[in-house]
Every structure is written in C-alpha cells, then in structure tokens.
Structure 1
Amino acid sequence: MTERKMKSESLEWIMSFLIAIIAGLVIKFFLFTPIVVDGQSMKSTLNDQDRMIVSKLSKPERFDIVVFHANEKQDYIKRVIGLPGDKIEYENDTLYINGKAYEEEYLEENKKWIKEQFGEDALLTDNFTLEDLWGYETVPEDTIFVLGDNRRFSKDSRHIGVIPMKAIIGDAKIVIWPIKNAQIIR
C-alpha cells in the first residue's frame, strides 16, 4: 500500500469518526436525551431508577409526561395537566379542565391503594382550584400545570407553581431499563 493511500484511508477514518461524534452530540442535545427517574412521584406509571429516552422534538400536550428544569440543580418528571388558558380544579378525586371532568386511568392503581390504606373516603388528590393555589383563574401563557401520578408524594405545580415552557427539556417517550419496565409512554 502506498503512503498516499494510507494517509487517505487514515483521513477518511478520522472524518468518519468525527461525523459520528458530531451526529451523536446533535442527537443528544437537540433531538433525544436519556434520563433516570429519581424518586416515587410518578409511581405507578414510572418507577424510581427507570431509564428513559426523552424527545426534545415535540410540544407538550395534555397528559404527556415531561421532564423540566425545576431549579438550577434538579430536573423533575411530571404529567402535563393544564395548558395555557386552562382552568384547573380537582374535586372528590376528579380532574376538571375548563369545567369538563376527565378520566385519569393511569391513577386507578394509586386510587385503589389509597382507599385500601385509608378507607373508602380517602382521596388520592386533595381538592383544589388553580385560583386557590396560586391566584390564577387559568394557566398563564407560556406555562403548563403539572402533577405527579403519585399525588400524595409528589412535589409538583401545587407546590412549585406553573412551569415555564422554556424550562421543559422534553417529553418522556420510552422506558428502556430495566427491561421488565420497558414500555412506550402514552
């Protein structure tokens, strides 16, 4: 093999390696990113230490599970309940958005557990209105209202307020680890 051909192949290999590195960085910083669930606030939908892939491509929709910067050091994972302009209230474990009752099937296991532990009258989610919590009639523009699925053990918009859209990292789409928990999130 000639010296010129060896240099050409070496340069080709280096270029391929750099392209792979750049493509990986673009995917991580602009398209998808891995996260680890830390805590019990989304139980029984997600478990502590589940590894997930978060999509940075989509705009959050109602009932999506999103990851956001809660502060400078912590990211939280919660479910989108209210979008800008929504009037949010909870009464007798029923979610009302703009006056319409919504079924939250993902909470059934948690509601059952609460009633078994504390009696048939026990609520998973205490009654509230957005106005009672924060003085807003509706979710402010460019923000969302989020709740954890494990409502009694979740630090969410009831405690930290509405979440600015610019704080959202992305939508949690897939649990990849442990294998027994692998699932597509809906």
Structure 2
Amino acid sequence: MKVILIVALVLLVARQFIYEPVEVHGKSMMPTFEENDRIILMKISEIEPFDMIVFKVADEKNYLKRVIGIAGDTVEIAEGTLQINGVAAEEPYLKNNRLLASQGDYGQMAEDFPAITVPAGYYFVLGDNRLNSVDSRMIGFIKKEDVIGEVMFRLSPAKQFGPVE
C-alpha cells in the first residue's frame, strides 16, 4: 500500500509542476493539430522560437500557438512572408496550409502585418492556420508567466503518437 501511495504522490506532484495533459480545441493549428488531439505539455522547458505552447488569455481560455518571436525580435508579415529580424523565415510546417490557401483563391496565407519588436518578458505567437487563428496579431504579445507549457508529446490520434517536432 505504501508503494501505491508514494507512486500516486509522485505522479500528482509531477502533474502539478512538470507536465500536463491537454486536449486541443479549435482550428487555429490545423493541420499540425486537429480538434480533440491529445497532447502533453512540459511546464519546465525553455521556450525557443517555433516551439508550440499553450497559454492562458484574459477570458480564461487556453490557446495553443507557435512561438514566432521572443524578446528583442522584430516580427512582420510582408507580402505574405513571415520575416523575423528582417530575414524571411522558413516555415515547413505551413506546406499544407499554403496549398489550401492557393486552392481556395486566398492568395497569401496571412494579411501583411507591420514590423513590431517583442518586448522583454513576452512572446509573439501565430497559429499555423493563419487564415483562421486568433493570435498575437489580434490579442497582442503573450506574457511569459501566462505560458502553461510547451507541447512535447502527442497522445492521440494513435497514428501520430510520439514526440512533437
């Protein structure tokens, strides 16, 4: 019985401070993540550009987005191309979305967005589904303390089970 209690206690503490399972809702990260996908967040990882994070927003909802800019970065979308510090960013995760945008007569994946610099203690985030995403273009910068964790592992669907890149 002691072993079971110790294991339960360790799991509870780990869930509180180290990891958290989350279910995906919404279409803003499609096709990277679909509605009802299940993922594991790591609460203690160092966030870097292009990591995917879950964070809280003012209306008590949790959002899943990709970090595009960190403190000091200048971010803009010019002629449909994401630029970070004046350099066009490679975004291989948008391949399918670019194809869908061109087939749907959308032209470019996102409207142009003027250059802004990310302040200290904040992130600039975008959804992979740029045509259908509420992200930093609308809600502004994300405070570091509002980040719940980084997406590290996919639990479902079963065919995509494993670490997230």
Cα RMSD between the aligned structures? 1.3
Q: Which has the higher helix share?
A: 1
1:98 aligns with 2:72: no
Structure having the higher Rg: 1
TM-score (norm 2): 0.95
Structure 2: unaligned runs, 5 residues or longer = none
How far did residue 182 of structure 1 move?
2.2
Pairing partner for 1:117 from 95, 100, 104: 104
Residue 162 of structure 1 aligns with which residue?
141
Residue 134 of structure 1 aligns with which residue?
none
Aligned residues: 165
Pairing partner for 2:128 from 149, 158, 166: 149
Corresponding letter in the other structure for 2:22: I
CA distance in 2, matches of 1:126, 1:182: 34
Residue 69 of structure 1 aligns with which residue?
56
How far did residue 111 of structure 1 move?
0.8
> In 2 relative to 1, CA 46–142 (structure 1 residues): closer, same or farther, beyond 3 Å?
same
Using the aligned pairs only, state the percent identity. 38
SS of 2:150's partner is strand
Output one character per residue of 1:125-146: Cα deviation in whole Å (capped at 9) or x when no partner: 1111244xxxxxx101100000
1:88 aligns with 2:67: no
How far did residue 72 of structure 1 move?
5.1
SS of 1:63's partner is coil
1:51 aligns with 2:38: yes
1:140 aligns with 2:119: yes
Corresponding letter in the other structure for 2:124: F
1:17 aligns with 2:25: no
Structure 1: unaligned runs, 5 residues or longer = 1-12, 132-137
2:71–2:120 contact (8 Å) kept in structure 1: yes
SS of 1:170's partner is strand
Residue 129 of structure 1 aligns with which residue?
114
TM-score (norm 1): 0.85
CA distance in 1, matches of 2:67, 2:51: 5
